[in-house]
Amino acid sequence: MPPRTLPEKEFHSHAPGYWQDKNVTPEQWNSHVWQLKNRVTTLAGLEEHLTLSEEERAGVLLSGNKLAMAITPHYFNLIHPTNPDCAIRRQVIPRIEETWEDPNEMSDPCGEDSHMPVPGLVHRYPDRVLFLVTDRCASYCRYCTRSRVVSGVGEQELHTEFEAAFRYLEEHTEVRDVLLSGGDALLLSDNKLESILKRIRAIPHIEFLRIGSRVPIFLPQRITPELCQMLAKYHPLWMSVHVNHPRELTTEVKEGLERLANHGIPLGNQSVLLRGVNDNPEVMKSLVHKLLMCRVRPYYLYQCDLIQGSSHLRTSVSKGVEIIEHLRGHTTGYGVPQFVIDAPGGGGKVPVNPDYVVMKDDQRTLVRNYEGEFFEYPEPGNQVATWSSTPANRLSMIWEPGAKW
């Protein structure tokens, strides 16, 4: 039986797309500086190429009140010109639903501000910190968990005190892992980013550096050989990228990710589960397969945070469990991310898994595999009776009224 064709599994280049009639040279298109200068940031810029819905048009007019709109030409080319349900446009084009009020939503759903010993440094977990090094991104995700501080129009401003942060890291010897984020650290110049990496790497007890970035997806032109050579000087250095849909993995993105991997940087992906974007098991399978082909390990699948204005993008938790159930055992284990909820208010990441342990006592554990069959694992030192090998008999043992476990 031939394998089913998964959606959007192929790699494509969409350049120069809508810009082909503007006399853009290959040198310009492949420059991250040109890409940033030519981001789509206005209603007129959108409507030059797209047919917007009324919900989108109203959302764009109000976007400056919460989170700015900016879309790089590279990423803009992935947007369907007429379909408001396009998985790419749902991520970056504002909608009026962002103004809806939901009493469960928060401006700081992960409780970062309450775990910030110095401005710009979040210390929530025992041995690791989050270092917010900028408040700008190449493009702005409409579900951004830090929309309160990024893009320059949020309700707060990010005022990272770099020297105070460095002193804190020097004094707190329990910290062994530093994650650079923001905003997006890869928007800093090579020299600025290197000055931060060099300063942190000089602290003896810090073992592990990470960068969290969406730049390789929004702005793959930024992943230059020079950047990769600089980053390679600060190993062990890892990078978490953020891809939500297989269409985002273009030829250019693949080349940028491979360049990072070739310079010894292990890559992991963090997706956010989003309604109308990736809440489909087949779409998610395409995504994890393409990530592995780009040498990126699917790491986390996040339940969408309770950020203000995100209700139209959030799914049920059960949808995330369903997707993991669809992946586990049905594709390579390297392609199965951990589904987590970042506990609202600052509780940290909590893993959520399908129920594979059916019953357990001090003698044995009954587990369910991906095909729905049941298996008994005896605890060490215990002799237990062998059940029938047929799933039907095992099920009757479990569920028959009055059965002994």
Residue 358 and residue 41: Cα distance in Å, rounded?
52
Asked if 342 contacts 348 with a C-beta cutoff of 8 angstroms, the reply is yes
Asked if 339 contacts 345 with a C-beta cutoff of 8 angstroms, the reply is no
Integer CA distances (angstroms), 49 to 46, 101, 122, 221, 319, in order: 6, 31, 40, 22, 34
Q: Where are the beta strands (DSSP E) in 144-207?
A: 177-181
Judge whether 294 is annotated as a binding position. no
Among 222, 203, 304, smallest CA distance to 34 is for 222
Q: State residue 283 phi and psi, 5-degree precision.
A: -65, -45
Residue 90 and residue 142: Cα distance in Å, rounded?
8
Catalytic residues: 124-125, 128, 137, 141, 144, 146, 305, 342, 349
* CB count in 10 Å sphere of residue 45: 17
Q: What is the DSSP letter of 150?
A: S
Q: What is the DSSP letter of 263?
A: T
Residue 83 and residue 81: Cα distance in Å, rounded?
6
Asked if 348 contacts 307 with a C-beta cutoff of 8 angstroms, the reply is no
Judge whether 110 is annotated as a binding position. no
Judge whether 144 is annotated as a binding position. yes
Residue 318 and residue 322: Cα distance in Å, rounded?
6
| Binding-site residue ranges for [4Fe-4S] cluster | 137, 141, 144
